[in-house]
Structure 1
Amino acid sequence: MDLIRALIEHMKGERDDWESLAMVIDFSGGRFSGTHGYTYSPDGVVSAVASRPSAIRPTVNAYTESLYEPGAALSVAILVQFDRTKGEYEVTFEDSDVSRWKVTPANIDEIREKLRPQFE
């Protein structure tokens, strides 16, 4: 999937040995505004990551344009979860709750586990 490839190619903050990825793509005012997420390594290390917005904007725009009619309201966030070992992924859309996947000092430990890919 082009979106996952772009997120990985332009990701900063990860260790080389990461096994899975959870990346939130944020939208504000109907436009792509940034990313935040985590990589998960086999030894239990969780690294905070982000993908450079200017580098992935064309891919994010192409992805949303393939799903939404012109002029339609976009989701407020999209969660992309990817298991590098299994090659499995899942994409979840949040249409209204802007705080659903936001990281705050109060939820930092909880949210990184909540976002962790758990494919059955």
Structure 2
Amino acid sequence: MSQDATADLIRALIENMRGAGEGWASFAMVIDLAGGRISGTHGYAYAPDGTSAAVASRPSGVKPALDAYLESTYRPEQEPPIKILVQFERASGTYEVTFEDDDSARWKVTPANIDRMAEELRPAFG
């Protein structure tokens, strides 16, 4: 996997992110895919004081970097994931990318889990 493709994906998520404000310290963004194509994004940005804000990145702005990332990570004959979770910490540049291949409900925000999902997705690099 190309580190540059990962950095480009993170950069695209940040540049197209709405709802975070200027002083965010970290974020967790879920990229939803349908047939290998981006169908939406959602997540949270976390302020230095620990508070969170719901965010999303414009799919059309993320698409070129996501396509390059998937090409660098998956062989053409491989089925792409259905979701990707990107977690990033601004100060250290630390990141983690997690793939979901089967469970379409994973990381989905619903009325039943809305109060805990921000904490569930919060980056915790150890």
TM tier, smaller: over 0.9
**Structure 1 vs Structure 2: percent identity of aligned residues?**
62
1:38-76 deviations in whole A, cap 9, x for unaligned?
A: 000012321100110111111101100111111421101
Give the TM-score normalised by the residue count of structure 1: 0.95
Counterpart of 2:4?
Answer: none
Counterpart of 1:77?
Answer: 83
**Which of 88, 98, 110 is the aligned partner of 2:94?**
88
How many residue pairs get aligned? The number is 120
**Which of 36, 39, 44 is the aligned partner of 1:38?**
44
1:66-114 deviations in whole A, cap 9, x for unaligned?
A: 1111142110101000010121000001110011100001101211101
Structure 1's consecutive aligned runs of 4 or more residues displaced over 4 angstroms after TM superposition are none
2-side partners of 1:43 and 1:99: how far apart?
Answer: 29
Give the TM-score normalised by the residue count of structure 2: 0.91
2:122 aligned with 1:116: yes
- Alignment map for 1:30-69 (pairs within 5 Å): 30-69=36-75
Specify every segment of 5 or more residues in structure 2 that has no aligned partner in the other structure, as ranges: 1-6
2:9 aligned with 1:3: yes
**Which of 29, 33, 56 is the aligned partner of 1:27?**
33
